[in-house]
Structure formats: C-alpha cells, structure tokens
C-alpha cells in the first residue's frame, strides 16, 4: 500500500536528510515511525504526501508520487497534521469536513452522508456545527482526524497525533486510531501510544533506518533505543 524504494533527500547544498530509505507497508498495517528530533520522520511524511520530492521511488497504492499525479495521490491519502489549528482552516467543523469531499466531486447528499457517518463513528456529532476556535485542543484533534476520514482515504499519515493532549483526550485519539481499518503510518515521540496502536515500528536516526520490526521487540530493546537518543516507553519502565 505504501512503498519507498531507495529514497534519499537533501535540501539544496545541505546535508543529507534521508539516506537510501526503503520500506513497505501492506494494506491495513499500522506502523509507527519513531526517532529523535531531526531523524527524518517529518521528511518521510512530506515525501509520501508529495509536499517534497526526493531521489528514488515513492508509491502509494501502486501509484508513483510525482508532481503530475498529486491530485490522484492525495485522494487516496489523508494526512493528519501535528498542529490541528493549521489543519482546521475553515470557520466551523462542518465546513472543514465538507472541504475535501466537495473538492473531490462528491454531491451534497453523498458528502452529508459521509460526514454524518464519520462523526457518528468518532462520537463527535455534537461538534458538527461548532466554531473551530471555540472547541478544546482535544476536540480539535479529533475533529482534524474526522476531516481526514471524511475523505475516505486508503492510507492515513499521522504526525504526532497525541502531542499536547491531556490523558483523557489522548486515550480518545488512541481509541479512534485503533478503530480505523486503513493503512496507517504514525510518527510520534509518544512511544506508549505507538505501543497501543502499531504492530510494527520503524526506527530512524540521522536519515537512516536503524531497525524495522515488531513494536514490542524494538520498544523493549533499551540498548537500541538509548543508542539512538530514545528511551523505553513509560509502561515498560514501570514494570
């Protein structure tokens, strides 16, 4: 469903941000992309969504990501940004939710049906006509996920979905992620959340893949994590 083949990226005259990255995600897989700051996680997300282009091949649902077919690629892909304020750019949750379906040519009726189903699924019906600046940070994050689900994407990219959320809202977001059947690639420093939501983890450091395997195995490997400026998840240190 998602594939990167020998992808490298550098900003002009800068140092290499990504160096020969290759991985593949099967349909329905939920994968965590972890690494210290500057490891290259966000760059991978930007390459997958066609915000940046590098060397090598990037495929989403067997379609190559290139400037010519961005419209098609982005129809299959939803990207939940780290900052929900940037994601929610319309005045109300409803207007934000209809934005993508209407851009992709869905009729008014189809759009209504779809957003009602998404709001029902995420238990957000009461937020439908709320003003974006009036809802809390947690609600905004859930609403941002809802705007992406309204696109009915095959692949969902999430950048720090639980950043700056309180425990209650963090749990709501984790439950929402677990309820999604799409292929998911999630970047986060919240390793406990990764443990709860992802069956597989890719560990990055300085633009290279250091480890790729089962979440439990990688996140229990204290030496490996510490060698790459990370720590064991809190749920492991407490045991």
Partner 1 sequence: MNKIDQALYEFREMDELADQDSLVHRFPVLPKVLLTILYILIVLSFHKYDLSSLSVMILFPVFFYQLSGIPLRKCFYKLRFVLPLVMAVGILNPFFDHTVIMKIGPLSVTGGWISMLTLMLKGILALTASFLLVATSGIARICAALRRMHVPSVLVTLLLLTYRYITVLSEEVSVMSNAYHLRAPRQKGIEYSAWGSFLGQLLLRSMDRAEEIYQAMLLRGFHGHFHYVDEKPASPKDWLTGLLIGALIVFCRYYNVASFLGSLFVR
Stretch that binds partner 1, among 6-14, 81-89, 120-128, 164-172 (CB under 8 A): 81-89
Question: Residue 79, interface with partner 1 (CB under 8 A)?
Answer: yes
The least CB distance from residue 77 to partner 1, in Å, is: 8
**The two three-digit tokens of residue 133, written as one number:** 């600046």
Stretch that binds partner 1, among 9-17, 69-77, 174-182, 199-207 (CB under 8 A): 69-77
Selected binder of partner 1 within 29, 57, 95, 154 (CB under 8 A): 95
Task: Return the number of other C-beta atoms located less than 10 Å from residue 230's C-beta.
Answer: 20
**The two three-digit tokens of residue 184, written as one number:** 């998911």
Q: Which residues pair with residue 191 across a beta bridge? A: none
For partner 1, the closer of residues 30 and 147 by Cβ is: 147
In the range 28-67, which residues lie near partner 1 by CB under 8 A? 49, 51
Selected binder of partner 1 within 8, 23, 59, 94 (CB under 8 A): 94
Q: Which residues pair with residue 8 across a beta bridge? A: 55
What are all long-range contacts of 167-171, with beta carbons under 8 Å and residues at least 24 apart?
168/138, 169/136, 169/137, 169/138, 169/139, 169/141, 169/142
Question: Residue 98, interface with partner 1 (CB under 8 A)?
Answer: yes
Whole-Å CA distances, 207 to 71, 113, 118, 132, 133: 28, 42, 36, 36, 37
For partner 1, the closer of residues 74 and 170 by Cβ is: 74
Stretch that binds partner 1, among 73-81, 167-175, 189-197, 220-228 (CB under 8 A): 73-81
Question: Residue 89, interface with partner 1 (CB under 8 A)?
Answer: yes
Closest CA relative to residue 211, chosen from 184, 238, 230, 235? 230
């Amino acid at each position: 469903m998602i594939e990167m083949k020998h992808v490298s990226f550098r900003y002009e005259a800068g140092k290499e941000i990504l160096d020969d990255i290759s991985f593949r995600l099967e349909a329905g897989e939920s994968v965590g992309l972890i690494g210290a700051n500057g490891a290259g996680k966000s760059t991978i997300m930007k390459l997958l969504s066609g915000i940046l282009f590098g060397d090598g091949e990037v495929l989403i649902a067997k379609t190559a990501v290139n400037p010519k077919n961005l419209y098609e690629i982005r129809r299959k892909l939803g990207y939940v940004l780290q900052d929900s304020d940037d994601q929610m750019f319309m005045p109300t949750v409803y207007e934000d939710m209809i934005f993508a379906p209407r851009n992709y040519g869905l009729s008014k009726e189809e759009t209504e049906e779809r957003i009602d189903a998404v709001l029902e699924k995420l238990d957000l019906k009461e937020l439908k006509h709320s003003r974006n600046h009036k809802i809390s940070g947690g609600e905004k994050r859930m609403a941002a996920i809802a705007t992406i689900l309204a696109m009915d994407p095959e692949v969902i990219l999430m950048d720090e979905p639980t950043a700056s959320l309180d425990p209650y809202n963090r749990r709501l977001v984790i439950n929402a992620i677990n309820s999604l059947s799409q292929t998911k690639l999630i970047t986060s420093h919240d390793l406990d959340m990764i443990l709860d939501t992802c069956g597989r983890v890719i560990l990055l450091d300085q633009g290279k893949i250091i480890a790729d395997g089962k979440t439990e195995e990688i996140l229990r490997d204290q030496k490996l994590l510490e060698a790459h400026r990370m720590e064991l998840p809190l749920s492991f240190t407490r045991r």
